[in-house]
Amino acid sequence: MRTHFGTIAILATALSALPMAFSGVMDDVSRLQQEWERVKYQTPPPEQEREFARLSAEAESLVVQNPRRAEVLIWHGIVAASHAGAKGGLGALSLVKAAKQDFEQALEINPEALSGSAYTSLGSLYYQVPGWPLGFGDDKKAFEYLRKGLSINPDGIDPNYFYGDFLYRKGDLDGAERALKKAMTAPPRPGRRVADEGRRREAAELLEKIAEKRK
């Protein structure tokens, strides 16, 4: 009997610690995403590569501590992809390949984590990265993943923005305009004011380009 109750007590202790552990990881993820927002939207472009490199090291440390957390993998991938964008050139390909692997692993663990962000992020890579032989870019896969992201978070600012950007690049101005306008009116995300404002600016700039093309 003592063994039985001892097992229950240990199990109860472990279960009671789970919410605290989950909260701690998500606090770390929140700090990472807020720092990403600062670098992405409030740091001068010449300084972004250095800042994203520093942030990549922090994200890597978080992955080492939480290798099976989809949220951590997603943000590690987002930071790597942003670092690639700031770096540019062929030297960025290793970073986008690493980001792709992060998003794929996150989908294996929990495809609905962070409102399906892994689908949207992976889709954005597929249409922005060069195709074979330089990279893995693939418009068909981009469309597939972007649509999956939208199916999970149909009103979200990011899935609508990236879908609109994809359609704009493919020449579908009407479809792009609808998606971008939906991104502009997306509900605000708690604690993500800087990111929301930055993404709306990007959506507005694309809408201006669409208007210019129609003149």
pTM metric for this prediction: 0.88
**Which secondary-structure segment (H or E) carries 51?**
helix 45-65
pLDDT at 73: 98
pLDDT digits (tens, 9 = 90+) for 37-72: 999 999 999 999 999 999 999 999 999 999 999 999
Count CA atoms closer than 13 A to 93's CA, side-chain side: 11
**Per-residue b/e over 46-61, b at no fewer than 16 CB within 10 Å?**
eebbebbeebbeebee
Dist. CA 109–CA 92, nearest whole Å: 26
Under-50 pLDDT residues of the chain = 1-22
- Please say whether the beta carbons of 158 and 120 come within 8 A: yes
> Which position has the token pair 């359609």?
167
pLDDT at 24: 82
Instruction: Provide the token pair at 118.
Output: 């892994």
pLDDT at 142: 98
For the chain, give the number of residues: 215
Ranges of each domain in the chain: 2-113
- Please say whether the beta carbons of 62 and 31 come within 8 A: no
pLDDT digits (tens, 9 = 90+) for 195-205: 999 999 999 99
